Amino acid sequence: MDNLLSPVASYYTDKIKEFGPQPKGVDWNGEDGQLLRFEQLCRVLDPEAAFSVVDVGCGYGALLDFLQERYRDFQYLGIDISETMIETARDLHKAAAHAHFLSGTEPESPVDFAVASGIFNVRLGSDEPNWKAYIRDTLQRMHAFSKRGFAFNCLTSYSDADRMRADLHYADPCELFDLCKREFSRNVALFHDYGLYEFTIVVRK
C-alpha cells in the first residue's frame, strides 16, 4: 500500500506547495465544484445531533470550514497521507478546538461518520487492478471505523472519453454501489445527478 500511495502523496504535496490552500492546491478546478462535492458527501451526516467525523484525505481542511458554517455540534478529525497538507491544515485552523489533523490513512479510534473526497481519483502509474484493490480495501477500513455511516466520491466511468486522463481512475458507479450494498449496509444511496463528472455514494448503517 505504501508503494502505491507514496507517489500520490508526493503529487499532492507538490500541488499544495504550488497553489497553496485553495481548490487547485488539492487538484480541484474551483471552489464551486468543491462546495458541491461537500454537499453530496455531507448527506451522510445527522444535522440534528452531535457527531464525530473523520475526513479521509482532508487536504488543507476545506471541509472543516464547510462544516463550521452549517453544523453546530461536532468533532472533526482530518487525516492525509501528505505531511505538508497536514501542516497547512493545522496552521489554518489553529483556533478550531473541536478539530484535529493527523498524518495517516485512518483514525486511532472509531468515529460516527467518515467521508472521503477525491482520494480514489489520482492513480498516476498504478495499474487498474491494484487501484481497484486499494479502493476496496479503503472502503472496508472506512466501514470498520465508522459507526453510523460513510460517504465517498469517485470520477465516473460515464465521463466523456475525450475528457479522460490516463493518470486518473474512472470508477464504475454500479460496481461500487453493488459492493456497498452487499458488504456494508442495506441503506446505500448513489448520487450521480449533480453536474460533475463524478458520483457520490452514501452508506448509512
**Per-residue pLDDT tens over the stretch 33-83:** 999 999 999 999 998 899 999 999 999 999 999 999 999 899 999 999 999
Residue 144 to residue 72: CA distance in whole angstroms: 26
pLDDT band at 197 (very low <50, low <70, confident <90, very high): very high
**Structure confidence by residue, pLDDT tens digits, 114-128:** 999 999 999 998 999
Among left, alpha and beta (phi > 0; psi -120 to 50; other), residue 15 is: alpha
Largest interatomic CA distance in the chain: 46
Residue 27 is predicted with a pLDDT of: 83
What are the domain boundaries of the chain?
2-42+50-204
Query: For 3-11, which contacts have Cβ atoms below 8 Å and span 24 or more sequence positions?
Result: 4/126, 4/130, 4/131, 4/134, 5/81, 5/105, 5/134, 7/124, 7/125, 8/81, 8/122, 8/123, 8/124, 9/81, 9/82, 11/122, 11/124
Is 2-42+50-204 assigned to CATH 2.30.30.90?
A: no
For residue 120, the tally of other CB atoms under 10 A from its CB is: 24
Q: Mean pLDDT, the chain, as a whole number?
A: 94
pTM to 2 decimals? 0.95
**What totals of helices (H) and strands (E) does the chain contain, helices first?**
6, 8
**Structure confidence by residue, pLDDT tens digits, 133-172:** 999 999 999 999 999 999 999 999 999 999 899 999 999 9
